[in-house]
Structure 1
Amino acid sequence: MLFLLPPSETKRDGGSDGSSLDLASLSHPSLLRPRRAALTSLVRLSRDADAAMRALRLGPRLADEVTRNRRVRSSPTLRALERYTGVVYDPIAADRLTDDAWTWASAHIGVHSALFGPVSATDRIPAYRLSHDSRLPDLVLRSHWAPPVSRALAGLGRPVVDLRSEGYVGLGPSPEGSAFVRIVSDEGGRRRALNHFNKKTKGVLVSQLLESRPDLGDVGEFVDWARGRGIVVEREGNELVVVSESVLGG
């Protein structure tokens, strides 16, 4: 089973000394060609700082993001779970994961990048800036990624617990037998969608998975595991509705 996370806009700087991007080393090798095309398009765009800032919807304070993109082929790399920061990733605390947790993450956790497509938690990537709704001059991300990503995920031969936002689902839907996770708050029986705590709930849920490292074969087994930890989760068609308070302890 694969737990597929959204990326984050914010990313940690730096990386391992002497490292640089190696597209051929990333998981899902069938995505090598679309990865090359997206990378080439982003680097080309970044040669014109003003055009890049408009396309990426960046304000003046984020001008350094264009420099990041210009250097993306040669800048140092980190494991994906270390690279991403922010509300989803802070609870995961990648810098404190044990070796056993990293081994489990490598096999069971992915992150869907707008630049690289889905990558493993341990795939080594540089810092970059590109979102699912960014506008590259010579390709449309949705049509560029959706067919090959869908094929790559289907080729895994296992279901996906889809923790992505809808924008990233549009870059490649999960295969049959998967489940999209919808986070809600339960206020005295009244349920409502969440934004900030939606992301935090996903991060805490993944941190619990990394602590427990369960052996899960399908969505039903994941539901059983979650309920065994006191997490309120209900199946509604191809969705899993998770109550935030039961994950965060609120």
Structure 2
Amino acid sequence: MLILLPPSETKREGGDAARLDLARLRFSSLTATRRRLVRELRAISRDEDASLKALKISARQRSEVLRNRTVTTSPTMPAIDRYTGVVFDALDSATLSAEARSFAAGHVVIQSALLGPIGAMDPIPAYRLSHDSKLPGVHLAKTWAPLVPQEIAATNDLVLDFRSEAYVALSPLPRGGNSWFLRVVTESDDGSVRALNHFNKKAKGLLTRALLMHARDLATVDEVFTVAVQAGHRMEFGDPGEIRLFTSGV
């Protein structure tokens, strides 16, 4: 089983591990591509105004440019601990058991715009690059779209795609077979069902946590449903290749 998560714009500072070593990241065949993107990110970071424009951030976020300038020399920490925001706050990696963290190392992949798919325990620095950022001479979707699906497919695992639509667009995966996209929905009093935007992040984080705490490899979606129900979640099949996770939206 492979749980594919989106990254987060916000990231925790610091780290106890050595600087970024691209060779240590999961999916080593992507090292050359990662090296090129890191090089371009560092190059544009020397021009603050160009960086703010490329990253689509305001002058109040100048510290993000400094992060990028030092991306190859700053300390690292496991990716699952580096990212913050709603998904990762709900996942709450710091309180996972040792067994759950060990399980995450082999079964959680985070889709980074800068580094592509990385393992949950891969050591990474703080950086700023989003799915819609613009690096000179680099088209992120054209860079990652041909590479990521084949890397994920090569695992031959059940794939649970919990990414946001934006990161799905960055590296689309086929739906159906062993690959399932998770759509978070809510049900109104009249029985109508609608997809959620903001609140879907918390639901994804909580479901990921439940699967990690279960710490057992799952081979089918039906097994995922069983674990989800035991953790208090409601799930059902949706459109072809999709599963629905119901939440109250609060």
TM-score (norm: length of structure 1) = 0.94
Give the superposition deviation at 1:44: 0.9
Q: Distance in 2 between matches of 1:94 and 1:216?
A: 20
Residue number in structure 2 paired with 1:194: 196
Larger displacement relative to structure 2 (203-212 or 53-62)? 203-212
Q: Distance in 1 between matches of 2:39 and 2:11?
A: 20
Corresponding letter in the other structure for 1:182:
R
Aligned residue for 1:4, secondary structure, equals strand
Q: Is the 8 A contact 1:3 1:110 kept in 2?
A: yes
Give the superposition deviation at 1:209: 1.5
Q: Distance in 1 between matches of 2:71 and 2:153?
A: 29
Residue number in structure 1 paired with 2:29: 30
Residue number in structure 2 paired with 1:54: 53
Aligned residue for 1:226, secondary structure, equals helix
Give the superposition deviation at 1:158: 1.1
Aligned residue for 2:182, secondary structure, equals strand
Give the superposition deviation at 1:91: 1.6
Larger displacement relative to structure 2 (4-13 or 153-162)? 153-162
Residue number in structure 2 paired with 1:184: 185
1:10 aligns with 2:10: yes
Q: Distance in 2 between matches of 1:34 and 1:170?
A: 19
Aligned residue for 2:245, secondary structure, equals strand
Give the superposition deviation at 1:129: 0.3
1:106-121 aligned within 5 A: 106-121=105-120
Residue number in structure 2 paired with 1:89: 88
Stretches of structure 2 lacking an aligned partner (at least 5 in a row): none
Q: Is the 8 A contact 1:149 1:171 kept in 2?
A: no
Q: Distance in 2 between matches of 1:134 and 1:209?
A: 32
Give the superposition deviation at 1:230: 4.0
Corresponding letter in the other structure for 2:45:
S
Larger displacement relative to structure 2 (7-16 or 219-228)? 219-228
Residue number in structure 1 paired with 2:217: 215
Q: Distance in 1 between matches of 2:140 and 2:59?
A: 24
Give the superposition deviation at 1:35: 0.6
Q: How many residues in Structure 1 have an aligned counterpart in Structure 2?
A: 246
1:225-236 aligned within 5 A: 225-236=227-238
Corresponding letter in the other structure for 2:95:
R
Aligned residue for 1:112, secondary structure, equals strand
Give the superposition deviation at 1:138: 1.1
Q: Is the 8 A contact 1:112 1:168 kept in 2?
A: yes
Out of 204, 207, 219, the position equivalent to 1:205 is 207
Larger displacement relative to structure 2 (75-84 or 226-235)? 226-235
1:165-184 CA distance string (max 9 Å, x none): 11111222235520000001
Identical-pair percentage: 46
Give the superposition deviation at 1:187: 1.8
Q: Distance in 1 between matches of 2:97 and 2:218?
A: 20
Q: Distance in 2 between matches of 1:184 and 1:29?
A: 36
Aligned residue for 1:88, secondary structure, equals helix
Stretches of structure 1 lacking an aligned partner (at least 5 in a row): none
Q: Distance in 1 between matches of 2:81 and 2:94?
A: 7
